[in-house]
Amino acid sequence: MKPYLTNSSSFYLKKCFMILFISTTMATPLLPLEILPLEGRLSFEEISHAARDFGNRYQFHPLAVLHPKSVPDIAKTIKHVWKMGQSSDLTVAARGCGHSLQGQSQAHQGIVIDMGSIRVHHPIQVVRNGGVQPYVDVSGGELWINILHETLKHGLTPKSWTDYLHLSVGGTLSNAGVSGQAFRHGPQISNVHQLQVVTGKGEVVNCSKNQNAELFHSVLGGLGQFGIITRARISLEPAPNKVKWIRVLYSDFDTFVREQEQLIAAKETFDYIEGFVIINRTGLLNNWRTSFNPQDPVQASQFSSDGKTLYCLEMAKYFNHEEADLAEQETKLLLSQLSYISSTLFIAEVSYIDFLDRVHVSEIKLRSKGLWEVPHPWLNLLIPKSSIHRFAGQVFGNILKDTSNGPILIYPVNKSRRDNRTSVVIPEEDIFYLVAFLSSAVPSSTGSDGLDHILSQNKRILDFCESGRLGVKQYLPHYSTQEEWKEHFGPRWEIFKQRKSTYDPLAILAPGHRIFQKSIPFS
């Protein structure tokens, strides 16, 4: 018996057939996020860690956390969000160690990519390159401390560092990566040969100075706005064994900065040079004795700071065991040209790895006391040489004259060591100073060590820089409005915006910086 079909049921079957035909001849429709074909996994429940960072002030909970096993996992996820278009509010942030300060590695109701997950599946590769300059290939989620350990096995080391090594490669290269070696080798972004990047369209692109050069320079110091660094090729040099680690004090700021500039300009000089401001710290030299030996113990024991603001010059000379005598002679010669307070010369001799990983020792101590995971309202500034004396007079002599809530770094850097094609914004002068206020706030305190007081001090410092027209730029910048970002970038804003429209036109990436909004990315 033949089936009986009404006109309406016949029409329904034809319609179903047409839908099936169209769906098989068109591109595959978007799958739900939950069932993307990934080697790794998307987690929708274990996400609370991705809503915190080292700054410990902002908590923006994501919708999901991606734990990738491969670069294609990252590319597929971003391409999925890209194809959803502006009808979706989903954004994507890469998170290395979560060491950002103000939510930059977070994505409110978006997707956070755990870059530490991918490094497990991509081993560090050291290449000697047949007599040509050696390099190391690493995952963007790899930690600098792991790179150091691996390259030292080959007698090699990266040239430029940050003071703290338990940070990801992608994180520091997205900012700049500076430390006391930057005057000689430039920041970390000046020592990169090649990158692999996943753009805001989900495209995987290899880039260098000679291949896809605009993307290469955009991503370096680009605050994660143009692509996620999934692999980097970093320059290496022969590694030393030992370090002479030296600290001296100055009471006169003019002498302190003049001799720092003298040292970074000299052909024969130290391998690392940084400075510190020390405000109202008693017993300072006694604290140093735990790690350093005073050159003159009797004089050192008689030294008194008298509540003065002092300036510490910290230097390091690298050498190998067989060069110990030569390193001693060179160190003495360099120190003889300086005008520090003679009784405050302290010297330690340590291994190269112990010197570079010195901040981690402090971290362990602070963690043991429950003082590591507190708010860190840090303020990092780049100050032109021509403004440094005015800045110091007002900030160290007035705003912070009584106390500070953490280390204050101050040291000069050469502009000539930087590539102005990268996205990093720096002052226009040949020499500028990094001044970093690395404050820690005591939770629930309403006094001078509380968060509100430190934020108020930071605002006073920024207001003075603006009103005094000092030409200051923020390092690790953070602003609330696009107008403030435009002012930060100045004449480079249009280039930055054009690069964004090329590589991340929907403003999917790094929403925590609050530079672009996904719905209106280029207003």
Catalytic residues: 99, 163, 274
Q: What is the C-alpha to C-alpha distance for residues 115 and 414, in angstroms, rounded to an integer?
A: 32
Q: Are 29 and 52 in contact (CB under 8 A)?
A: no
Q: What is the C-alpha to C-alpha distance for residues 332 and 396, in angstroms, rounded to an integer?
A: 31
Per the structure block, which two tokens stand in for 271?
A: 């391998």
Give the other-Cβ count within 10 Å of 254's Cβ: 10
**332, exposed or middle or buried, with CB in 10 Å at 0-12, 13-18, 19+?**
exposed
Give the end-to-end CA distance of the chain in Å, rounded to a whole number: 68
Q: What is the C-alpha to C-alpha distance for residues 107 and 65, in angstroms, rounded to an integer?
A: 10
In terms of Cα–Cα distance, which of 337, 179, 349 is closest to 268? Answer: 337
Question: How would you classify the pairing of strands 92-95 and 111-114?
Answer: parallel
Segment holding 260, helix H or strand E: helix 253-265
Q: What is the C-alpha to C-alpha distance for residues 28 and 178, in angstroms, rounded to an integer?
A: 46
Report H helices in 26-181.
Answer: 71-84, 115-119, 144-152, 169-173
Q: What is the C-alpha to C-alpha distance for residues 206 and 501, in angstroms, rounded to an integer?
A: 19
Residues in CB range of 521: below 8 A, 6 or more apart? 500, 501, 504, 505, 506, 507
Per the structure block, which two tokens stand in for 387?
A: 């403004």
**358, exposed or middle or buried, with CB in 10 Å at 0-12, 13-18, 19+?**
middle
Quickly tell me which residue has 């509010």 as its tokens.
89
